[in-house]
A and B are shown apart, each in its own frame.
Chain A
Amino acid sequence: MSAETIDIPAERQQEILALEAKLKANHFEVLGVTPGASSEQVRDAFHALSRKFHPDRYHGRQLGSFKAKIDTIFKRLVEANNVLTDPDRRQKYLDDNPFVRAAIRSATGTNAAFQPGPAAPKSAEEEARDAERRLRLARHPYLAKVTKIQEHLSKAKAHIAKNEFSHAFSLLNIATQIDPQNVEVKTLLADVRKKNEVQRSETDYKRALEFLNQGNEELALQALRASVNASAANHEAAFKLAALLEKTGGDIKEISSFAQRAVEAAPQKVEYRVLLGRMLEAAGMKSLAKKHFDEALKLGPDHPDVKKHVKKRWPF
């Protein structure tokens, strides 16, 4: 290092330099969390980093050129934390930075704007088992890759013809594990995965409607959740879930996250916008709420929900 005396252990100096070098990265990377991490995960990471990089940790010490570095680092951490823990600002940040949204999609394979919670990571045990299985399959002398794949493929196609997507999905999954490079399997798998999700989501949605008919709201909620989790595109389920949660006194944040999903999947639906607007308003995010009310009013000025909730609120 230079001639200046700096009262920071050498190891910590290295950490400071390393973090300083990556300050230009996106907010998630600066905090060292996976893109799309939940508000809670972000806050935890921010706290952990504060323990090392808050300027107060170095109060009254000889810092030389490191003083400015620590200040800059901490301000950057604050900025990242502030943006990612505020739903409005996070949304705006993702809107303004499509590449970050893309990073989230590739990291989690889901919609970027609203994370229903930390995506269940595979446990170490499962990971180990997967790896072991892959290895065994690859080593097995009797399982000549190609024939096995072809066998799975033809079975899968038969299932697809009968609209049995979940069977097809698991067969194709095995096939990709045998040979991750096989293009035909990969494309078919992507297609089947989507169809399977939609199908599962539909089934769960129908189940939920039945439960509702029977008046069992608890089971209906469960089924709706499963339906929404299965497919982000099922806006009917997301909306129904949000509405039912509202009726049963659920958490506003949760309700608005489902309403948000519904709106994202079907931006033209007036009643979705109205519900989302109302929830955002209740959560104190007035300007966002107004945006949705305005949109709802534009989309369907005569829609009953608009008449009921929006017009009395916004005297234009």
Chain B
Amino acid sequence: MAEREPVIGIDLGTTNSVVAFMQDGTPTVIRNRSSSNLTPSVVALSKTGKLLVGQIAKRQAVINPSDTVYASKRLIGRKFSSPQVQDAIKVLPYGVQAGDHDDIRIAMGEKHYAVPEVAAMVLKELKADAEAFFGQSVRKAVITVPAYFNDGQRQATKDAGRIAGLEVLRIINEPTAAALAYGFGKSVNGKIAVFDLGGGTFDVSVLDVSSGVFDVIATGGDTYLGGEDFDNRIIEWLVFDFAKENGIDLRKDRMALQRLKENAEKAKIELSGSKEAQINLPFIASPAGGGAALHLQRTLTRDKLEELCGDLVAKTISICEQVLIEARVKPSDLKEMVLVGGMTRMPKVVEAVKQFFRRDPCKGVHPDEVVALGAAVQAEALTSSDSEVVLLDVTPQSLGVAVAGGYVRRLIPKNTTVPTSVTEVFNTSKDDQTTVKIMVLQGEAEVAHQNELLGEFILTGLRKARRGEVEIDVTFEINSEGIVSVSAKDRETGLQQSIQVTASGGLTEEELKRILDEQADMLLEARSGEELQGKKSELKALMKEVETLIPQLDKATQGSEFGKDAITKAKSALDAARKAFDAPVLSKVTESIDTLTRTVSLFKGVLERIK
């Protein structure tokens, strides 16, 4: 029998990446050429113009902050104008610019790179590591992404694979991969939950496992919640106090920011094992008027860290609640609880998870490696005819079309097993309408423009008739590769139009809203309900509280740089909250509640310290 071509599984992480393969029926990590299992997802252009990837790139980050790119996964498949990207830019030492279609360009040296190109550099490195291991070329891979990645982010990851010279057999979800690795070769039968808190993203999935069949029942998460956010909270804390004492905002200095980041991460990791960590940054800044260099020296306790990040942990738990409801299971129905991702080493996270799921998480999975191992299991299952593993994966977000009035009509709800297809009948919305526009949307928002636009097309040549008389069949299909295609057919004439969704439209939220408004005949009308009412009064109370806190803080910080910054931010949060209050859409109201809660706790903390 001819030697089978090697296939690999890749966990392309925010912080670190891992590559694995199936060795005689056991998933095994392939070490990189510096004998480490983890390759930092860092890319840099050295001063001599050399491209560096992995540990070597990470090591030189402090002396070369503006040309060292880390956490690019947080940017992949996103729009430049999205609030997440705008927020990220403030704390990223490297240059991020807008491309022609509201896409993102990363600057390294003289050149600008698309995010998939940067991700491809990491993938190329992993591919080369695997090739060095096998002594032959590797072309096929399964790559994992956070379960909550949308179609655009998945497509961008696939593009990265293609640029790196890999045939991406399948993109699979990280928590699913973790479950595959955990359940593979064991006789696990029953429902298991996977809690995956990584460097940049959070996912939770519930699966039903029965002898080799891995059936995902529900999945949820937040693509912008991970270790990076914990680090940023520590950075904010350090920067704030430093600004108060010395009147210097360290974030303005790229090199200082890079050092802060490294030390914040280090302290966070240290606090998983000990109660206290020293943060020591000598010569971090020089005073504006000259004089001796300034040093930053602080002690961070575990309690303080938990206080700074309490809301982040609470958010993961509330997402778990939601997913269990969607899966229609109680914590007691679960057979196992698997923890994945480096952040699950934090004692506070473990404690919160234990309390919510009312059980000890299972031991014996390596939180950093389990995802790559699972990817290898799936790669094997796809390419070998005698594998016993079948993965029944789901679509993590709902798919639908925009309908008159600015709403979404969902055809495929989230957590539907793929492949799947659904057909629904639609009518014309106006008299003598001969053309309909089909706008394909992904997301959970109730109003159309807050969802992601995947693509659009027009069906023309309809018979002139009264509104509602012409019937159009709209069919949504997701094939086993995860590719979405949509078609519309005029029932009378049999005329048909279709698209295959391949890349995101690249529209900003405003553009999308404008386009939808132009086509809408009626005004937006949000659904109201008791939940919304409750949230609205909660929001109102918070708005009042922030309003009273602002003058207090202003007085306390005496017009310092940081104080001003914080107050401007709080004011814009208040503006957003007022808007959310006036145009009540549940998701917006909830979002504002989150922001204001954070503002309040920050302000209170500050006032406490100053007193």
Q: Which residues of A contact B213 (CB under 8 A)?
A: 47, 50-51
* Cβ–Cβ contact B530 & A55, under 8 A: no
* Cβ–Cβ contact B325 & A284, under 8 A: yes
* Cβ–Cβ contact A43 & B383, under 8 A: no
* Cβ–Cβ contact B383 & A59, under 8 A: yes
Q: Bound complex: CA of A56 vs CA of B170, how far in Å? A: 10
CB distance from A309 to the nearest CB of B (A): 14
Give me 8 other A-B pairs in contact (C-beta within 8 A), A46-B215, A50-B215, A56-B381 excluded: A55-B479, A56-B390, A57-B390, A71-B480, A74-B419, A283-B328, A284-B325, A284-B328
B420 interface contact, C-beta 8 A: yes
Indicate with 1 or 0, residue by residue over A41-66, a CB within 8 angstroms of chain B CB atoms: 00110110011001111011000000
Q: Bound complex: CA of A216 vs CA of B208, how far in Å? A: 38
CB distance from A90 to the nearest CB of B (A): 12
**Interface residue from B208, B215, B391 paired with A56 (Cβ < 8 Å):** B391
- Return the chain B residue nearest A54 by Cβ: B390
* Cβ–Cβ contact A56 & B382, under 8 A: yes
- Return the chain A residue nearest B477 by Cβ: A75
Chain A contacts with B in 14-51, Cβ cutoff 8 A: 43-44, 46-47, 50-51
Q: Which residues of B contact A50 (CB under 8 A)?
A: 213, 215, 390, 392
A81 and B417 contact, Cβ closer than 8 Å, known pairs A43-B208, A44-B210: yes
* Cβ–Cβ contact A75 & B169, under 8 A: no
B212 interface contact, C-beta 8 A: yes
Q: Mind listing 20 A-B residue pairs with CB under 8 Å?
A: A43-B215, A47-B208, A47-B210, A50-B213, A50-B215, A50-B392, A51-B212, A51-B213, A54-B392, A55-B419, A55-B480, A56-B480, A60-B382, A71-B480, A74-B480, A78-B420, A79-B420, A81-B417, A82-B417, A283-B328
Indicate with 1 or 0, residue by residue over A131-167, a CB within 8 angstroms of chain B CB atoms: 0000000000000000000000000000000000000
Indicate with 1 or 0, residue by residue over A182-215, a CB within 8 angstroms of chain B CB atoms: 0000000000000000000000000000000000
A47 and B215 contact, Cβ closer than 8 Å, known pairs A71-B480, A313-B530: yes
B421 interface contact, C-beta 8 A: yes
CB distance from A170 to the nearest CB of B (A): 41
CB distance from A197 to the nearest CB of B (A): 32
A109 interface contact, C-beta 8 A: no
Q: Bound complex: CA of A204 vs CA of B340, how far in Å? A: 52
- Return the chain B residue nearest A52 by Cβ: B390
CB distance from B184 to the nearest CB of A (A): 15
Point out which of A43, A51, A56, A82 has the most chain B C-beta atoms below 10 A from its C-beta: A56
B416 interface contact, C-beta 8 A: yes
Q: Bound complex: CA of A75 vs CA of B480, how far in Å? A: 10
- Return the chain A residue nearest B529 by Cβ: A286
Q: Which residues of A contact B391 (CB under 8 A)?
A: 56
* Cβ–Cβ contact B215 & A82, under 8 A: no
Chain A contacts with B in 75-127, Cβ cutoff 8 A: 75, 78-79, 81-82
Q: Bound complex: CA of A59 vs CA of B391, how far in Å? A: 12
Q: Which residues of B contact A79 (CB under 8 A)?
A: 420
Q: Which residues of B contact A43 (CB under 8 A)?
A: 208, 215
Q: Which residues of B contact A81 (CB under 8 A)?
A: 417
Residues of B in contact with A (beta carbons under 8 Å apart):
169, 208, 210, 212-213, 215, 325, 328, 381-383, 390-392, 416-417, 419-421, 479-480, 530
CB distance from B34 to the nearest CB of A (A): 34
Q: Bound complex: CA of A170 vs CA of B382, how far in Å? A: 58
- Return the chain A residue nearest B381 by Cβ: A56
CB distance from B6 to the nearest CB of A (A): 15
Point out which of A46, A81, A314 has the most chain B C-beta atoms below 10 A from its C-beta: A46
Q: Which residues of B contact A57 (CB under 8 A)?
A: 390
* Cβ–Cβ contact A51 & B390, under 8 A: yes
Q: Bound complex: CA of A315 vs CA of B213, how far in Å? A: 46
The B contact surface, by secondary structure, is strand
Q: Bound complex: CA of A33 vs CA of B417, how far in Å? A: 20
Residues of A in contact with B (beta carbons under 8 Å apart):
43-44, 46-47, 50-51, 54-57, 59-60, 71, 74-75, 78-79, 81-82, 283-284, 313-315
* Cβ–Cβ contact A71 & B479, under 8 A: yes
Q: Which residues of B contact A78 (CB under 8 A)?
A: 416-417, 419-420
Q: Which residues of A contact B420 (CB under 8 A)?
A: 75, 78-79
- Return the chain A residue nearest B209 by Cβ: A47
CB distance from B334 to the nearest CB of A (A): 15
CB distance from A123 to the nearest CB of B (A): 24
Q: Which residues of B contact A54 (CB under 8 A)?
A: 390, 392, 480
- Return the chain B residue nearest A252 by Cβ: B330
- Return the chain A residue nearest B393 by Cβ: A56
Q: Bound complex: CA of A78 vs CA of B325, how far in Å? A: 21
* Cβ–Cβ contact A75 & B419, under 8 A: yes
CB distance from B149 to the nearest CB of A (A): 20
Q: Bound complex: CA of A60 vs CA of B215, how far in Å? A: 22
A315 and B417 contact, Cβ closer than 8 Å, known pairs A54-B392, A56-B382, A57-B390: no
* Cβ–Cβ contact A59 & B212, under 8 A: no
Q: Which residues of B contact A313 (CB under 8 A)?
A: 530
Q: Bound complex: CA of A71 vs CA of B485, how far in Å? A: 14
Point out which of B212, B383, B390 has the most chain A C-beta atoms below 10 A from its C-beta: B390
Q: Which residues of A contact B208 (CB under 8 A)?
A: 43, 47
CB distance from A73 to the nearest CB of B (A): 11
* Cβ–Cβ contact A315 & B382, under 8 A: no
* Cβ–Cβ contact B382 & A59, under 8 A: yes
Point out which of B417, B479, B530 has the most chain A C-beta atoms below 10 A from its C-beta: B417
Q: Bound complex: CA of A57 vs CA of B416, how far in Å? A: 19
Q: Bound complex: CA of A307 vs CA of B479, how far in Å? A: 51
Q: Which residues of A contact B479 (CB under 8 A)?
A: 55, 71
* Cβ–Cβ contact A75 & B390, under 8 A: no
Q: Bound complex: CA of A81 vs CA of B416, how far in Å? A: 11
Q: Which residues of A contact B419 (CB under 8 A)?
A: 55, 71, 74-75, 78
Q: Which residues of A contact B480 (CB under 8 A)?
A: 54-56, 59, 71, 74
- Return the chain A residue nearest B324 by Cβ: A284
Q: Bound complex: CA of A51 vs CA of B390, how far in Å? A: 6
Q: Which residues of B contact A82 (CB under 8 A)?
A: 416-417
CB distance from A203 to the nearest CB of B (A): 35
Q: Bound complex: CA of A60 vs CA of B390, how far in Å? A: 15
Q: Bound complex: CA of A266 vs CA of B234, how far in Å? A: 61
Q: Which residues of A contact B392 (CB under 8 A)?
A: 50, 54
CB distance from B437 to the nearest CB of A (A): 27
* Cβ–Cβ contact A75 & B530, under 8 A: no
CB distance from B584 to the nearest CB of A (A): 16
CB distance from B110 to the nearest CB of A (A): 42
Q: Which residues of A contact B390 (CB under 8 A)?
A: 50-51, 54, 56-57
Q: Bound complex: CA of A215 vs CA of B390, how far in Å? A: 52
Q: Which residues of A contact B383 (CB under 8 A)?
A: 59-60
Q: Which residues of A contact B212 (CB under 8 A)?
A: 51
Q: Which residues of B contact A314 (CB under 8 A)?
A: 530
Q: Which residues of B contact A47 (CB under 8 A)?
A: 208, 210, 213, 215
Q: Bound complex: CA of A234 vs CA of B208, how far in Å? A: 36
Q: Bound complex: CA of A241 vs CA of B382, how far in Å? A: 50
Q: Bound complex: CA of A314 vs CA of B530, how far in Å? A: 8
Point out which of A50, A55, A71, A81 has the most chain B C-beta atoms below 10 A from its C-beta: A50
Q: Bound complex: CA of A74 vs CA of B419, how far in Å? A: 7
Q: Bound complex: CA of A284 vs CA of B328, how far in Å? A: 8
Q: Bound complex: CA of A79 vs CA of B381, how far in Å? A: 24
Q: Bound complex: CA of A56 vs CA of B419, how far in Å? A: 10
Q: Which residues of A contact B169 (CB under 8 A)?
A: 59
Q: Which residues of B contact A55 (CB under 8 A)?
A: 419, 479-480
- Return the chain B residue nearest A9 by Cβ: B385
Q: Bound complex: CA of A166 vs CA of B28, how far in Å? A: 66
Point out which of B381, B419, B420 has the most chain A C-beta atoms below 10 A from its C-beta: B419
Q: Bound complex: CA of A55 vs CA of B215, how far in Å? A: 14
Q: Which residues of A contact B325 (CB under 8 A)?
A: 284
